[in-house]
Amino acid sequence: MKEVLVLTTGGTIASTKTENGLAPGLAAEVLVSYFERRPGVDLSVENVMSKDSTNMQPEDWVEIAERIQAHHQAYDAFIVTHGTDTMGYSAAALSYLLYGFDKPVVLTGSQVPLGMAETDAVRNLHDSLTFASQTDLQGVYLVFNGLVMAGTRAVKTKSKSYDAFESINYPYIASVSEGNMMPLYQPEPETPVLTPSINLDTKVFVLKAFPGLTVDIFDYLTANMHGVIIESFGNGGLPFERRNLIPGVEKLTAAGIPVIITTQILEEGQDIYLYEVGKRVADAGGITAGDMNTEAIVAKLMWVLGQTRQLETVRTLMQTPIAHDLDFV
């Protein structure tokens, strides 16, 4: 018998109509009744929280991770039902917080609430149970619209359609349909590089570059943040004419604050040394994030800073593949 625990956190999948719009309100016991019962699978449920995922915070990621760890010995797999708006962040965060976890953890949700016409929730629940009960893989995954993604690679790309999530810069792990799982990609095993840690440092800031961005923002960041992520242009470039942002990167780096450089372009990552506008950023101390997505970078940087603020160690860890988050830098 395979023991599977469903942890509910709210989200659209558990939402009902209120005078202020849809809001989580479906009891965990009702939600779990929508799962298709399977021979050889024993399903249990536990409510962790009931909130719209827009209200999810890093402290909530920690609570979910701690709940899973507390039940590690009792269950063979875990399913977390979650709102879609920040599920990519939560999937990435749990991938780090549960670093080295030796059982599958599956996140899923829906674009339309359970009990409403045209809901995609029932399919996603069935598919998540299929994957959770049939896979031999360990770690954190996201299941949505018949596809399985690594937790650090899933990004929400659509606000209404059922195929709301895509696996960015990484193959889909499996497809799921009508109770059957078809493996599509076997991730390479990773050699552990850190002792598992459940600490997070939330003093992280994401800055999106745009033409006209004031250089004054770097004064605030230097005084208040422990880590900065810059969504640059193209392959990692930032302007150095007129509003020159390069001294801002240098200032942060000189203060011991890691500056992680990612790109606003969703696919194919970055090559920060390809153009002068990128090489100047790297020379100023910018830490390239290769083909990682912003959701994973945010969670990883909080997790790394929760363990160390030594700049070169942060650089090394951010550029070390963990939970399949990074293929190149």
Is 84 designated active site?
no
Alpha-carbon span 267 to 263, nearest angstrom: 9
Alpha-carbon span 213 to 58, nearest angstrom: 28
Q: Are strands 77-81 and 2-10 parallel, antiparallel or unpaired?
A: parallel
Q: Which two tokens stand for residue 116?
A: 């409403």
**What residue type is assigned to position 179 of the chain?**
G
Answer for the pair 314, 304: CB distance below 8 angstroms, yes or no.
yes
Answer for the pair 240, 251: CB distance below 8 angstroms, yes or no.
no
Alpha-carbon span 28 to 14, nearest angstrom: 8
Q: Are strands 165-167 and 154-156 parallel, antiparallel or unpaired?
A: antiparallel
Alpha-carbon span 229 to 25, nearest angstrom: 35
Options 8, 12, 135, 152, the catalytic residue: 12
Output the CA torsion 86→314→97→141 (10° steps).
Answer: 60
Alpha-carbon span 305 to 63, nearest angstrom: 19
Q: 204 - beta bridge partners?
A: 227
- Continuous segment of H or E residues that includes residue 262: strand 259-263
Alpha-carbon span 229 to 257, nearest angstrom: 10
- Report helix, strand and coil shares of the chain as percent, to nearest 5: 30, 25, 45
Q: Which two tokens stand for residue 129?
A: 């149970």
Point out the residues that are catalytic: 12
